[in-house]
Amino acid sequence: MRRKWGYAVAGVAVLAVAGAMIYQALATSLVYFILPNEYAADPGRFDERRLRLGGIVAEDSMAFDETDLRLTFLVTDGLVSYPVRHFGAPPDLFQENVGVVIEGHFEGETFVSDNVLVRHSEVYEADHGNIDIDELRESLK
């Protein structure tokens, strides 16, 4: 009988250690997807975390320095805008008024990106109205 209890305790201990290791791995590798207005609502919540920031490249905000390969632009969700600094060539489909998801972190009020993903579809129709935040979130997933 004692042998069975020993195996049971050892099994529970192994499961607890494995669970703790899985939790730690997931906690450090998660990348949160947020919109600019969600970040603005509680910036402290995302301190020192890797983020995916989704939005639209604001019109007349894009600048690319070919010598330094530095791309700067504003990303907006129609409510809040943040400047973005990215080092590297932009993707081929990158342009103003296009949905983007950028990966990186905030340094003060500037988002420093190391990856730019462009959202596109086969059909492009310009929306000249207000941006619907729920539609934006769905289109960027």
pLDDT at 124 over 60: no
3-class SS letters over 42-74 = CHHHHCCCCEEEEEEECCCCCEEECCCCEEEEE
pLDDT tens, residue by residue, 5-20: 888 888 888 999 988 8
Q: Model confidence at 113, in pLDDT bands (50, 70, 90)? A: very high
pLDDT tens, residue by residue, 20-75: 888 887 766 677 789 999 999 988 888 878 889 999 999 999 999 888 889 999 99
Give me the residue spans of the domains in the chain.
1-30, 31-139
What pLDDT, on a 0 to 100 scale, did the predictor assign at position 74?
95
What pLDDT, on a 0 to 100 scale, did the predictor assign at position 126?
62
pLDDT at 119 over 90: no
Provide the 8-state DSSP code for 141: -
Domain 31-139 coded CATH 2.40.50.140: yes
